[in-house]
Amino acid sequence: MKFVVPEHLPWQEMKEGVRLKAAWGEDIMVTIMEMDPGTEIPEHSHPHEQVGTVMRGAAQVTIAGETHVVEEGQLYFVGHYEKHSIRAMEAGARIQDVFYPIREEFRRPQTAKTHYFPKYFSTRR
């Protein structure tokens, strides 16, 4: 993919309240994730380095035991295998993440949904 219009990418419904779009190059991937209010991704880690930007709303992000509320326009960085979690605040959140290397499970929505997301995602009600 050389040029991408995010609105043209399909949403992957990962679980109730969590949707994801993905675009990638040879070695790097960008995702846009929408989280409904109160939806959370419990603590997990992966071999990919990750930088996230909150595009709308706010999220409580915990990285290596340090917790901050990340607001619109702010970024967070997650190192390789670093434990982290995220919870959308009361307005929900739209987050753009960049991953290196590519998250293979995000390239194939059914693989991501059946292998990755049920293991790590839960919704706070």
Question: How many Å apart are CA 8 and CA 6, to the nearest integer?
Answer: 5
Q: How far apart are the first and last CA of the chain?
A: 38
* Average pLDDT score over the chain: 88
The reply to whether 62 falls in a domain is yes
The reply to whether 77 falls in a domain is yes
Residue span of the structural domain in which 58 resides: 10-119
Cβ count within 10 A of residue 11: 12
The reply to whether 102 falls in a domain is yes
Which pLDDT tens digit goes with each residue over 81-96?
A: 999 999 999 999 999 9
The reply to whether 84 falls in a domain is yes
Instruction: List, in sequence order, the alpha helices (H) in the chain.
Output: 104-107, 109-111, 117-120
112 — alpha (psi -120 to 50), left (phi > 0) or beta?
alpha
Which pLDDT tens digit goes with each residue over 94-120?
A: 999 999 999 988 887 665 554 444 444
Quick one: tokens of 103?
Answer: 């998250």
* Predicted confidence (pLDDT) at residue 25 exceeds the cutoff of 60: yes
* Predicted confidence (pLDDT) at residue 78 exceeds the cutoff of 70: yes
β-sheet bridge partners, residue 33:
20, 95
The reply to whether 110 falls in a domain is yes
pTM of the model: 0.85
The reply to whether 4 falls in a domain is no
The pLDDT value recorded for residue 110 is 60
Q: How many domains are contained in the chain?
A: 1
The reply to whether 21 falls in a domain is yes
When pLDDT is averaged across residues 26-33 and rounded to a whole number, the result is 96
The tokens 């043209």 sit on which residue? 8
Quick one: tokens of 12?
Answer: 């992957």
What CATH number does residue 65 fall under? 2.60.120.10
The reply to whether 90 falls in a domain is yes
